[in-house]
Structure 1
């Protein structure tokens, strides 16, 4: 675990009551506070394959990059205890929503869909940017 990730997880544990349980949901606001201005890598759980990297530019804007693909900017919202992302390249304008939680001292997100049970683990939180061009102003 990187030092930046430890600090982010420690901040989330401090904000989360009963963090000693095996799985503890955290608020989207606590998650976004821990990652704002940082770059986060997401890995499939349990396979460990890299899904992608996201730079959290602000509490309402991010940029996502998958392996071998370019940067895609997204708007972040937090309805009903979820973190939702609507990316510029989404053809149907439907956001992708996640529930953040801690599991055995690891920061995770679970797809907020009853049709798929996708879970991703945050493997690193760094200060490094994605160096994506043309950051939108809004």
Structure 2
């Protein structure tokens, strides 16, 4: 490896919060199996800021709530190995999709977009529901 390539690789590794070889990809189905029937708190990685809370009602339906906002229901799909959510309030009609993985034993998701690298960590999994009104039939 040339010195230029070595410097480039080192810069890439330093710029990435999660080194690729430290991650273990898991299927969206395995992720859903771990959280189905549970309520999950997602935190931004690595800052730890709360992003929101999601209750996984079934493998195809969830309800999402951000602090200070109401409940939004989402249809869950798993195309091409991604975990995708199409929420009731999405104005563009396009789902938000994530790659699911484990990092140091923790469940994580990374936005499945080439131009964004948002990563969220599951910090809490409980049996408590969000008590959202008008839960659709799943």
TM-score, normalised via structure 1 length: 0.84
Secondary structure, aligned partner of 2:37: coil
Distance in 1 (alpha carbons) for counterparts of 2:115 and 2:89: 23
**Please, what is the CA RMSD of the aligned residues?**
0.8
Secondary structure, aligned partner of 1:100: strand
Distance in 2 (alpha carbons) for counterparts of 1:22 and 1:82: 19
Secondary structure, aligned partner of 2:41: strand
Distance in 1 (alpha carbons) for counterparts of 2:37 and 2:105: 22
Residue 112 of structure 1: aligned partner:
112
For residues 28-107 of structure 1, what are the structure 2 equivalents within 5 Å?
28-107=28-107
Distance in 1 (alpha carbons) for counterparts of 2:94 and 2:23: 28
Aligned length: 118
Deviation at 1:137, TM superposition (A): 1.8
Secondary structure, aligned partner of 1:32: helix
Deviation string 1:18-70 (CA, Å, 9 cap, x unpaired) is xxx62100000100011000000000001100000000000000000001100
Distance in 2 (alpha carbons) for counterparts of 1:28 and 1:137: 22
The answer for unaligned runs of 5 or more in structure 2 is: 1-20
Please identify the structure whose Cα radius of gyration is greater.
2
Residue 23 of structure 1: aligned partner:
23
Deviation at 1:105, TM superposition (A): 1.1
Distance in 2 (alpha carbons) for counterparts of 1:107 and 1:77: 18
Deviation at 1:106, TM superposition (A): 1.2
Secondary structure, aligned partner of 2:84: strand
Distance in 2 (alpha carbons) for counterparts of 1:58 and 1:137: 10
Runs ≥4 residues deviating over 6 A: none
